[in-house]
Structure 1
Amino acid sequence: MTRLLFDYGHGGTDPGAMYKGRKEADDVLSIGKAVAAEVRRHGVALDETRTSNKTVSLRERSNMENRKKYDYFISFHRNAFQPEKAKGAETFLFTTGGALAKQLAERIQKELVAVGFTNRGVKRANFHVLRETKAPAILIEIGFIDNTADNQLFDKKRKQIVEGIARAILAQVGVTYKAAASKPTSSSTGTLYRVMAGSFADKANAEKQVTRLKKAGFEAVIMPK
């Protein structure tokens, strides 16, 4: 059975990168948990290094991964450089990361670029959570938090980002992504309300009103009082 470990960077006393009141720790926790929900909806087992705004050290994160046998370790982050000077998404694997990590990184990077992020590519790095974990590991940088355009993309295309990352992960573990069924809109009480469009003493006039309503695209029937 496939089991994944999602790691949401920073948290608690470590807010990560910040820009105009926005915190990386909050962004990655929110979007990471949304991706987790999509993946779980498809029956894939998944653990998380944190599920709230709490402090978790790098060592605690890698130790958690080492305690179980995971198929993949995926760390969520947002980038930062100098305000408004850099933009785009990039995905990292360890300097000696293998074919599986590289394949997953490429799948996710492709989805992020499809949403509209500038393609900064798949790269290799000596990050602790990539180096000290046993499973194929990747680290995603979902745009620059100090770039207004990337933040707008992160917010406006949130649903597409979540679905894209989930689709890439599921494809990597051999599961076909299925969109969630849309829920019909109804009132909270379940009550339906009728709208009257006139009362007529002459049936011919009532029939004319029905014809006008139907031409306008409304359902209409004559109901004697």
Structure 2
Amino acid sequence: MSKYLVLGDGGHAEKVAGKCAPDKSLYEWKFNQEVDTKIKKRCKDHGIDYYQTNPSPAGKDEMGLSKRAELANAHWKKQGKPKALFISYHANAYKSVFNDARGTETYVASNASTNSKNAAKFINDEIYSAFKKLDNGAKNRGVKTEDFTVIYKAQMPSILVEYGFYTNKSDLKILQNNVDDLVEATMKGICKYFSITYKTPKKENNTSKEEVFYRVVTNSYLDRKNAEKEVSELKKLGVSAFLDAFKKDNKTYLRVVAGSYANRKNAETQLASLKKKGYNPFIAIYKK
């Protein structure tokens, strides 16, 4: 048992209405879950215990905010109240159309301890720094106070992070394409909070191994128009679908791919989500 504990809260669940980019190219629950899952792994790399209040948001309605805090409090007490930090992960929005509002901001509650405020500043500054390296127009909205239930009721130091606005095209681009950079920035802030040394992620040696991806396939067509129609339907559901050609019996088929993942669990999550939407997908292994 580590003497340090992070309690991660992947904000929102799949069935919460309206939590997506105006063009539906990003769903907040998916972004939050990816950050939560990746920080869990990186905490393990640093010898920090990790607990998820909302590990499986796919296909579910919202979990009550008080419930999230209760789960975190109960786990923290069960572990003997080690030095801890509760982090609720979010991406921000302003209105329901693309606009100029953008930036990183982190919240503490009005009952926040000094540790909460320190953690908020450390993590917010690191995330803003990561954004700034990727886009010189990035904005730092700073640390703010708001009595969000989940951090107000958490009994250990607690913060709520809004990484960027998915209603802003510049922020959205980073939220979509640079999750690992944002995770590492968060990890640097966490290490600073616990006064431990940050470790860069280990690079996998792929010189002798093929890179394997798990592709979620919904269908295959000989007719391009039918294939493109299904891609269009999936995109309307917020799925980043694309076509992949392959040959069989001297015929060229177009496979509709609804996601390509290095992690099989992520592929299986997408598979389950599509099944609930009436598709009959399967996972195909793709080697690069």
Normalising to structure 1: TM-score of the pair?
A: 0.79
Measured after TM superposition, the shift of residue 153 of structure 1 is 1.7
For 2:18 and 2:108, the matched residues in 1 are separated by: 20
| TM-superposition CA deviations, 1:54-111 (whole Å, max 9, x none) | 4422122011022132511100001111322310010000012111000000001111
Structure 1: stretches of 5+ with no match in the other structure: 190-225
2:171 is aligned with 1:150: yes
Q: Which has the higher strand share?
A: 2
Q: Which of residues 152, 157, 173 is equivalent to 1:136?
A: 157
Measured after TM superposition, the shift of residue 186 of structure 1 is 2.1
- Given that 2:126 and 2:189 are in contact with CA atoms closer than 8 Å, whether structure 1 keeps it comes out as yes
Aligned-partner residue type, residue 147 of structure 1 = N
1:76 corresponds to: 89
Provide the identity percentage. 26
2:112 is aligned with 1:105: no
| 1:167-182 mapped onto 2 (5 Å cutoff) | 167-182=188-203
Distance change (3 Å), C-alpha of 1:145 and 1:14: same
- Given that 1:4 and 1:46 are in contact with CA atoms closer than 8 Å, whether structure 2 keeps it comes out as yes
| TM-superposition CA deviations, 1:160-203 (whole Å, max 9, x none) | 211110111022112211112323232337xxxxxxxxxxxxxx
- Given that 1:58 and 1:128 are in contact with CA atoms closer than 8 Å, whether structure 2 keeps it comes out as yes
- Given that 2:106 and 2:142 are in contact with CA atoms closer than 8 Å, whether structure 1 keeps it comes out as yes
Structure 2: stretches of 5+ with no match in the other structure: 133-137, 211-288
2:225 corresponds to: none
Name the stretch that deviates more: 18-27 or 105-114: 18-27
Aligned-partner residue type, residue 166 of structure 1 = M
Aligned-partner residue type, residue 80 of structure 1 = A
| 1:14-93 mapped onto 2 (5 Å cutoff) | 14=16, 17-19=19-21, 20-21=23-24, 22-52=26-56, 53=58, 54-55=60-61, 56-69=63-76, 71-82=84-95, 83-93=98-108
| TM-superposition CA deviations, 1:182-225 (whole Å, max 9, x none) | 23232337xxxxxxxxxxxxxxxxxxxxxxxxxxxxxxxxxxxx
Measured after TM superposition, the shift of residue 16 of structure 1 is 5.8
For 1:15 and 1:51, the matched residues in 2 are separated by: 19
**2:50 alignment partner, SS class:** strand
- Given that 2:92 and 2:164 are in contact with CA atoms closer than 8 Å, whether structure 1 keeps it comes out as yes
For 2:44 and 2:101, the matched residues in 1 are separated by: 34
2:201 is aligned with 1:186: no
Normalising to structure 2: TM-score of the pair?
A: 0.62
Aligned length: 189
For 1:118 and 1:45, the matched residues in 2 are separated by: 32
- Given that 2:166 and 2:175 are in contact with CA atoms closer than 8 Å, whether structure 1 keeps it comes out as no
